[in-house]
Structures are given as structure tokens and as C-alpha cells.
Structure 1
């Protein structure tokens, strides 16, 4: 970090408050935040559709519509909550951390409610219950996730330390993914069938783990950067929107993240049907969850040296190219066994991991760029716009996923799926992700402008502008 940038960070923290230096405690605390988030997020993205179709008896197409409507609503809730957070003053415990503490319990309780099956209800009542509880959970998720994501930019201003936070956040996500995808199927399925009581048990267990992680995140992290009051720099929606429209790095990463989330959600939803029906082995979901998580963990220690040498944009683009090649190959190898499919897909997840590990560091860069353009420090607003794009990706994935599963001929009432339905499921799990990874690669290479050199220069230029404001 440059001396100018370090000097600004020290001066923007209230002089009378002595903060400990950034270190491993912050990294572990930030890891716990996404660990808590993803106990339910991954449970929902991987298994909620099969819970709705096989236990509540809701058609896959209707589930797709539910996911589409809910995610669009959540996207609006994200931006609304982000603007609300930016209007709050920083308190003794920070600006963002208190909201994680306040809203985590309601969030977890709403998550458990999604998996409560009340006996004797009509099909219409089950559908209404699914809509209400799922939309409630998504709304409350915004109240925790927006302050959590925004918090990274005020824990530290150092780009290297921010990359470390992004890495640890991904580690938290992958740990949750490992537990959900490995242990989850063993809890949720009985004799290759989704079981209502087991789903509720899983939701309660993962809910307890989730709330514990949120408390750890709140206790271990520290917000250090407090922007000084400056004349003429009050929040203005019009100016904010104008700045967002000119922020090419933000627009590029929005589209890339939208596609990444679409692909991640689609794979998570379709994999259940791929292994349960195409391979006839639901328990293999535990194996693929474990192997793919290990592949990402292998990539983690490579991130820091690669970013230092080549840059975030450059490294992420190479990872997307690897993922594209691997999933394209899987499509042209339909006769693979479940074990062979898992091994090859792990290589694709290794490539995907490079982008996924540094994605949150991309977000802090575009927040800085927004401040450089507008002079306004609006962490919550910019992060919520980014989250908006991810929610749109989830909406599209949920809508397309459910509709596509129905379109290829999946029928939960059949003891065995038709050959055309199985082929369609295989295509959704391989060729579609390959195409999406290719689009992300092209966006990173040709549209995202913050190369390693330009990112380092942004830190210097922004620090100088801040110094002028003091």
C-alpha cells in the first residue's frame, strides 16, 4: 500500500478511537460471515427445488416461477436496504456490523420455516406457504448480507488485505458448501428419496450453525475506516445513479457476476436431478460436493501469488477459460460414470474457483472507483447494486432451472424418467454451464478495464483525492 493511501486511512479513523491493526482475527471473522450465510443459501440453492417438487408436490414449472418472482423482489430489497444503510451514521460498533447481529436470528428462523411441512394442507395451500416463506427468507437475507458484503471496504483500505478478505470469505462459503453438499444428502434423503422430516432436521441443524457463525463474525471483525464529513458531499440519489452509470468496471462485473450466479444456481439445482435420476445415485451428491470443494481449496493458496504477479482480472479470466473447456468436454462424454463425471468436473471447479475467490475483491475495487468518479463513499449502495445483479442471476436461474427441468420432461411421479428427459438433464448440467463460462471469460477479457496496473494506480489517485478533502 502506498504511503499516501496508508496516511489517508489512518487519518480517516476517529483519532480518539484506538483500533487494533488488521490481522488474522478479521480474516477469520469475515470467513464466519459467509460461512453463516451459505449454510442456508447453499441448502436452498441445492435442495429447495427438490423439496418443493418431491415433498410438497409443487410442479417444477411453478417452482421456477416462484424463484423468479422472489429473486426479482429480493433484488429490489437489496438496493432499498443498501440505500438505507448508507443513510445511517456510524456507531460505536461500526456502521454495518450491528445489522448483522440484529437481523441474523429472524433470518435463521425464516429459513427453518421454509422446511416445515404442515400435514393435511391442500396443493394450493402448500404452494401459497412456499411463496410466503421463501419470499420472507429472501427479504431477511438482504438485511444481513448487504451490511456483511459492504463491511469489507471499511475493515481495511489496503488492496492486498482486501484480497485476503475475499479469499477468506470464499473459504467460508466453500466450508459451508462442503458441509451442505457432503453431509446434506446423507441427512435429507432416505433410500434415494427426499424425506420431509429429514429436511426439517437438516434446516434446524444448519440454522443453529448459521446463527453461531453470524455471532462470531460480529465479535471478531472491526470497522476501521470512518469517512470524514466533507462539505457538499451529502448523499444524492441522482448523483449516485449517474456515477453508477459511468462506472464501467461496475457494469462489467455486474454482468459477469449475474452470469456466474446464474450458472452456480443452475448447476446446484440440476445436479440433484443429474445424480438422482441420470446416474441413479443421490448419495454421489456428497462425493461431488466434497471433491469440488477440495478443488477450490487447492486453488486458494495459489491466488495471492498469482494476483500479485498477474492481477485479479487476468487470473479470473484464465480460470473461466478452464471451466468452459471442462464443461464443454463433459457434454460430449455422455457415457461417463458418476465417478468419472465427478473427477473431470473437479478440474472445471478448480478453474471456476479462481474467479470465485477474488470476486469480492473486485467489488471493493468498483466501490473505490465509484468514489473516484463521484466523490461519494457509498459502500452499501454500490454493494447492493452488485447484489442486485446476483439476485437477478438467481431469478433467471431459478426460473429457467425449474421451467427447463419441466421442459425436458421431468416428472416426479414417474418411478424412472424417460430417456429424453435424462438427456435434457445432462445437457442442462454440462453444455449450458460451458456456454455461460465462455461469456464470463469474454466479459473479463474485453470489457472489464481494471487491469493490475490500473487498479494499483486507482489506489494512488483515490488516496490523493481523499487527502485533498481533509
Structure 2
């Protein structure tokens, strides 16, 4: 794009007429899917297995890990907003505004991911604490530099609401495919005789790191930014206007709250499930089955999302799914004597329920970005998306802290071959009633606090078109 074109005020929902761009298609969907495919190789590995790596390989206390997770995620939340605001004030390159950052930062991100899983035998307890602290925070910071532009990119790939929903669906597919690989293959690599293996963790990190970098490169090559955003005047000139708009954006606040506690539940389940199957069910290999079923439930939900959303709306479809998930996990709490297979079978129904939130969340985000534009007249995709990511990171921080403290509070000790009965009961409660209550709370937020119903979204589209005509 020429210098004069980049400085010109352009409707953010108009494809540039100066550059010939291929139409939106399957290539974009695959490219966008591969971005989260790359993201989640390390994200899921970290969220599901890093705590047990620190407690069982490094020998660090679960309480310290909880403090580390809390501090790191709060730092990452600040980094997300700072990076999103930074990107919103940059001029687009000829390859777009967001995707060049994926190319620039993905290699350092992958290297930092591998560094987290290096174990040097014979070092002191303090060394392991310091090494964990530095490498984990480094990885989280670099993750922001890739994930924020990647998430923001959806709104400039296409303006069509149906196409944006398909991007959200394909993004979820990418995450689920990565989850399938990690949860199906990961336990076979990282556990030897039902115990965490330092060499197994490093091997998994290297393999997943290579796959992640290849996915980032493919996402960069296959995705196309079509929407030309107007150049912002700078962070100081519009920051006050932006903050006022964010505070008035009730749909954004509601979805931030729902996403925050949903991420808390996801992280908590990921961390606690390792102990649940390793200690409570004495079957760490069953984690592979859980990972496969979680992916299968999403792929079952994907083909029925579009007709359900077309008939009832995003909000309406998602609320029913969350109510189903809440009912299942609360029921599980009152059924403590299940076998591993019985437990997995029932959780599959709950997974199917919250799969709709997983699939639709990115479409919710693009809707609240549109609503922000309606309120402020500004198209600030990076800022709004980074605020959403901020909420997710806060949820991760809280979950990381809670899970570490909770595992310690119920009496877990990594040196014990067999945990006490009260500890096992505590693990089971953490894995069932806590997520059940969280899913019920999300249901209530969506029903009573999130106003963008199917009819309201239709009206919002009309209002935005009229607003753009007026500005011209």
C-alpha cells in the first residue's frame, strides 16, 4: 500500500480498491485454523501438564507454582493490552497490519516454549524455582506478541458475519486438533510407568515446537488481510475516547466476565485432571481418552452450530449448552464412586455442552468489536481484542493460583506413592463441583447480562451502515 493510501481516512469495512485481492475462501479458513493450531501446541501442553512437570520433575511445591502462575498471567494480561494498543497505532505493511507480527515473533516464541521444559539434574531447589519463573514469564510475554495480532486478524480478513463465524469455527477446529494431538500423544510421551519423565517432557516440547512453528508459517502464507483500517492518530489522542467507549460497552463487559471464568474452569480442569487420573483413578493413560473425546465432542457440535445459530442466534444457542455442562458437572460431584470409564462417559456430555461456547466465542468477540465501533465511531480491533485476551489471562492467573493453592490445601504431596483418602476426595471435588458452578454462572451472565440477541445483532448491522453513511 502506498504512503498516501495509508494516510487516507478509509472506511474500515471497505476492501482496498488499490490492490487486487483474491476473494475470501477455503484457503483463509485453513490459514486461520493453522494459527490457533500453532498457538495451542504449547498453550495446551502448558495448561494441562506444566504444573505436574514443576511439582514432579523440578520438585517445586504446588503453592509456589500457584504463585508463579498468578504472577505470570497478571503480567501477561498487562502485556496483552500494551501490545494490542501498540499494534493499533502502527501503520500497515504491504502484507497487512497484523499477520507480519506472527512471522516476526513466532520463532522466538517457540524457542522460549522449549526452554521451559529443560531439566538440568542436580541443581538446587532455588535454581529450579528461578529457572521456572524466568522461562515461564518469558514464554507468556512472547505468546502475547503472536496471539494478539493473530486474534485481531479475523476482523480484517472479512467483513461478512457468516464468514467471520466460519473463521471462529475453523479457529476452534485448529485448537481442538492441537488438543487432540497433545492429549492423545502427550501422556504417552511424558509419563513413564505412571510417573512424569523429564526426558519425555523435553521430547514433547521439541516435537510440538516444530509443529507449532510450521503452523505459524503456513498461517502467515495462507491468510489474507483484506480490510484496510484507517490509521489511528496515536494512543494519547484517542485513549480517553476509547476508555469511555469500553466502559459503555455492556456486551463487551459481559463477555469479558464470562470468558474470564470460563478460562478459569478450563485451566482448572486441565491442571486437576492430571492428578485426578494419575492419583484418583490411578490411570494417567486415560488422559489420552479424555483428550480425544473432548475433540470429538467439538467436531460433533461444529456441523450443527450454523443451523442452530441461524434459527436461534449465538447467545441463545450458547446459553443452552452452558446449562447442560453445568448440570453434568454438578451431577458428577454427587457420584463419587464412578470408574474412570463411567466418569469419562458422563463428562463427554458436559464437554459437548460447553463446546458451543468454545466454538462461538471468537464470533462473540467480533460482535463486541462492532458494537465498540457503533459506540465510539472507532475501529480498534487490536485494543478490544487485547482487552478480551486480558480477561482470559486474568482467568488463567486466578485458575493457576487457585489450582496450586487448592492442590496444596487438600494435602497433595508429590513424594507420596499413594495420596490420602481426603486428598483424593479433594481432587475429585475440584474436578467436578467447581467447574459445574462456574458453568452455571456463565449461563446466568449470558441470559441476564449479555444483550446482543439475534434480533439486536440484525439491528446493529443496520445501525453501523447508517452510521458509516452519516460519517461520509
Name the TM-score class by shorter chain: over 0.9
* 1:373 aligns with one of 375, 383, 389: 375
User: CA offset at residue 462 of structure 1?
Assistant: 0.9
In the other structure, the counterpart of 1:264 is 266
1:223-255 CA-partner distances (Å, limit 9, x unpaired): 111134699999511111111000000000000
In the other structure, the counterpart of 2:302 is 300
Contact 1:12/1:228, CA 8 A, preserved across alignment: no
In the other structure, the counterpart of 2:44 is 42
User: CA offset at residue 15 of structure 1?
Assistant: 1.4
Contact 2:70/2:400, CA 8 A, preserved across alignment: yes
1:76-117 CA-partner distances (Å, limit 9, x unpaired): 000000000000111110000000010000000000000001
In the other structure, the counterpart of 1:4 is none
1:328-359 CA-partner distances (Å, limit 9, x unpaired): 11111111000010111000000000111000
* 1:359 aligns with one of 348, 358, 361: 361
Structure 1 residue 428 corresponds to structure 2 residue 423:
no
Q: Given the superposition, is the C-alpha separation of residues 294 and 19 from structure 1 closer, same or farther in structure 2, using an over 3 Å criterion?
A: same
* 1:286 aligns with one of 279, 288, 295: 288
Q: Given the superposition, is the C-alpha separation of residues 231 and 378 from structure 1 closer, same or farther in structure 2, using an over 3 Å criterion?
A: closer
* 2:158 aligns with one of 156, 159, 175: 156
In the other structure, the counterpart of 1:5 is none
Return 52-61 or 12-21, whichever deviates more.
Answer: 12-21
Alignment of 1:108-187 (within 5 A): 108-187=110-189
1:307-341 CA-partner distances (Å, limit 9, x unpaired): 11100000110010000011011111111000010
Distance 2:11 2:227 in 1: 6
1:386-429 CA-partner distances (Å, limit 9, x unpaired): 00000000000000001001101111011100000000000000
What's the C-alpha RMSD, in Å, of the aligned pairs?
Answer: 1.5
In the other structure, the counterpart of 1:18 is 20
Distance 1:65 1:283 in 2: 29
Q: Given the superposition, is the C-alpha separation of residues 230 and 188 from structure 1 closer, same or farther in structure 2, using an over 3 Å criterion?
A: closer
In the other structure, the counterpart of 2:74 is 72
Q: TM-score, normalised by structure 2?
A: 0.96
In the other structure, the counterpart of 1:3 is none
In the other structure, the counterpart of 2:466 is 464
Distance 1:10 1:91 in 2: 16
Distance 1:450 1:255 in 2: 15
1:148-188 CA-partner distances (Å, limit 9, x unpaired): 00011111111111111000000000001101111000011
Contact 1:230/1:469, CA 8 A, preserved across alignment: no
Contact 1:33/1:213, CA 8 A, preserved across alignment: yes
Secondary structure of the 2:58 match is coil
User: CA offset at residue 13 of structure 1?
Assistant: 2.4
Which consecutive aligned stretches of 4+ in structure 1 deviate over 3 angstroms post-superposition?
A: 8-11, 228-235
* 1:254 aligns with one of 253, 256, 264: 256
Distance 2:235 2:139 in 1: 35
Secondary structure of the 2:51 match is helix
Q: Given the superposition, is the C-alpha separation of residues 159 and 175 from structure 1 closer, same or farther in structure 2, using an over 3 Å criterion?
A: same
* 2:323 aligns with one of 321, 331, 337: 321
Alignment of 1:36-115 (within 5 A): 36-115=38-117
Structure 1, unmatched stretches of 5+, are 1-7
Structure 2, unmatched stretches of 5+, are 1-9
In the other structure, the counterpart of 1:225 is 227
User: CA offset at residue 461 of structure 1?
Assistant: 1.2
* 2:243 aligns with one of 232, 241, 244: 241
Contact 1:39/1:210, CA 8 A, preserved across alignment: yes
Contact 2:369/2:381, CA 8 A, preserved across alignment: yes
Structure 1 residue 414 corresponds to structure 2 residue 416:
yes
1:18-42 CA-partner distances (Å, limit 9, x unpaired): 1111111111110001000000000
Contact 1:9/1:157, CA 8 A, preserved across alignment: no
Q: TM-score, normalised by structure 1?
A: 0.96
Contact 2:12/2:379, CA 8 A, preserved across alignment: no
Return 258-267 or 458-467, whichever deviates more.
Answer: 458-467
User: CA offset at residue 118 of structure 1?
Assistant: 1.4
For this pair of structures, how many residues does the alignment match? 463
User: CA offset at residue 119 of structure 1?
Assistant: 2.1
Distance 1:111 1:276 in 2: 25
Structure 1 residue 453 corresponds to structure 2 residue 455:
yes
User: CA offset at residue 120 of structure 1?
Assistant: 2.2
In the other structure, the counterpart of 2:391 is 389
Secondary structure of the 1:236 match is helix
Distance 2:313 2:16 in 1: 33
